[in-house]
Structures are given as C-alpha cells and as structure tokens.
Amino acid sequence: MGMQILIEDTNAALVAQALSDAGISSEVFPVSDGRVGVSIPTAVIDSVGEDLVSKVLSIFTYVDLWSGERSLRRG
C-alpha cells in the first residue's frame, strides 16, 4: 500500500529534497496549518524498500493518514 502522510513542517521544498535525494519519487504539497502533504505510491515503496522510506521520514514528525498513527521525529 502507498503512503499518504502529513508532515509537521512548513517547508515543502525541504521535504521534497529529502525524499528526492534518497531516490523516493513522491508528490509533495503544502497544506494549511504548517503541514506538508506527501503521497508515495506503492510501486515506489516496493522499489526502494520500506526501510529506506522509514529512514528518510524519521527526520520528520508526521501522521499517517491511513492508520492515524503519529510518528515523532527521530533524527
């Protein structure tokens, strides 16, 4: 399954660059209240691996829109 998340950051360019630098193709877009939306397709996750996606996302605090779970920044 792909990922749809809200990152608690106001800099969409920074989020997009972090994902791109790791070879993760995604849609990144600003949303209200200081958050950035990110959509990562299943095919991309399957290609690069869940571990890499998790590693890159660990530098941000975000909410997974499918599960409702909040992941706190670890980096």
Q: What is the pLDDT of residue 33?
A: 85
Multiple choice CATH, 3-71, 3.40.50, 2.60.120, 3.30.70, 1.20.120: 3.30.70
Q: What is the pLDDT of residue 32?
A: 85
Q: What is the pLDDT of residue 1?
A: 78
CA atoms within 13 A on the CB side of 28: 20
pLDDT tens digits in sequence order for the chain, 75 residues long:
799 999 999 899 999 999 999 999 999 999 988 899 999 999 999 999 999 999 999 999 999 999 999 998 886
Cβ burial of 3 (10 Å; 0-12, 13-18, 19+) is buried
Q: What is the DSSP string of 15-30?
A: HHHHHHHTT---EEEE
Residue carrying structure tokens 């690069």 = 48
